[in-house]
Amino acid sequence: MKVKVIEEAGHNSALLGLSLNFNSNIEKMPKTLKGLSKQPRDSHSKVMRMMQVWIDITAPRYFYQQFDQYKVSTVSSSESTMNTLWKRDLTQDDFEYNIPKPLILRLNMVLRSVRKDKSQLHKLKVILPEGFLQRRIILLNYTVIKNMIADRHNHKLVEWQYFCENIVDQLEYPELLPEFKEKR
């Protein structure tokens, strides 16, 4: 699994908006924002929804099944299994964990049939293991990341623990994620 923050944006605009709420100077807002970020309800830290984060994630399909429940202000583009899966043979590197060699051989046999007849792609998708790695570029905001970390930092799937640790270490404002920082 790989997690890389590509870009962040909207911090200054978010702080300007926050300064309007408090009829205050923008220079005082980082401290105010840090205090609001500790509030348990998202409505108290709505300014964090204005702070955007683009992330490049390569993860197994089973991770994305849980990840996809966090859809508030998220957008993603991914390697499409419909358009890319059949273009090359699969190897062990295409999976999060080792899978039996006979299974890779079987998958590649089906892949070859898909190359001849694209209508057979559904057969490949049906037998594709959940550990198959897929890359996505995802747009989130700080509120969504805060909720993910609060919900998943101690999750039994190690991929969630990896995601939480790696995303926090790359963010420009990790101090806005107190739930995770305090429990580290």
14-62 residue pLDDT tens: 999 999 988 999 999 999 888 888 877 666 668 899 999 999 999 999 9
- Whether the predicted pLDDT of 182 surpasses 50: no
- 3-class secondary structure, 23: coil
Distance CA 64, CA 104 (A): 22
- Looking at per-residue confidence, does 73 or 123 come out higher? 123
Mean pLDDT of 81-93: 82
- Whether the predicted pLDDT of 127 surpasses 70: yes
Distance CA 64, CA 68 (A): 6
Domain ranges (residues) in the chain: 2-75+134-183, 78-133
- Whether the predicted pLDDT of 120 surpasses 50: yes
User: For 2-75+134-183, which CATH class?
Assistant: alpha beta
Percent residues over pLDDT 90 in the chain? 55
How many Cα atoms occupy the beta-carbon half-sphere of 76 within 13 Å? 21
pTM of the model: 0.86
* C-beta of residue 59 within 8 angstroms of C-beta of residue 132: no
Nearest Cα neighbor of 150 from 126, 104, 101, 183 is 183
